[in-house]
Amino acid sequence: MAQIVEKLRGNVLLAVFSELLDSAGSCDVASLELEEPIFLVETMDQRIKDNTWRVVGNRDVSKRIPVPEYKVWVEPPGEYRLQDIHGVVGVSISPERAGAMKSQKSFSPAVVEAALRGFHGHGPWHSAYDELTV
C-alpha cells in the first residue's frame, strides 16, 4: 500500500507502507496505519494513471512523513546547495551536511514493485533497494 506525499511533474513522491491490501477488496482508508513508511520514493505516475496501482481513497499525509530535501552540486561557484522536491535550488550547504544527504533520484514503478516484493520475501532483495528505504 502507498500514499502520494507530493505530486510532481509526471512523477509522484510515494510513501510505501508494509501493509498489503487485497487488490479485489475494499478498505476503510480512515482506519489504515499511515505513519511509518518503509520506502519514500519518487517514481513515475504511470501505474496510477493506468489503474495498475488502484486508488482506494484520499487522506491527509501524516506530518511524521517529511518531504525530503536534497543536495545538488552547483558549478560555478562549485558548492553544494539545498534542492527541494520540485527541483528549486536554494542556499549553499557545507560539504559535511551534503555528505549526509541524498541527491534527487527517481525510480521506475517496476523497481518500486520489485523492492516491495523483496521486502516481503516474495523476491530477492538487492542492495540498490536500500536507496528507497526511509
pLDDT category at 26 given cuts 50, 70, 90 is: low
Please write the tens of the pLDDT for every residue from 50-76.
999 988 889 999 999 999 999 999 999
CA 99 to chain centre: 20
pLDDT at 20: 82
Please write the tens of the pLDDT for every residue from 28-53.
788 888 999 999 999 999 999 999 99
**DSSP 8-state class, residue 38:** S
- Supply the pTM of this predicted model: 0.89
Q: What percent of the chain has pLDDT over 90?
A: 81
For residue 129, give the nearest of 115, 116, 119, 109 by alpha carbon.
115
How far is CA 105 from each of CA 62, 84, 87, 94, rounded to the nearest angstrom?
23, 12, 11, 21
pLDDT at 23: 66
Mean pLDDT of 87-99: 96
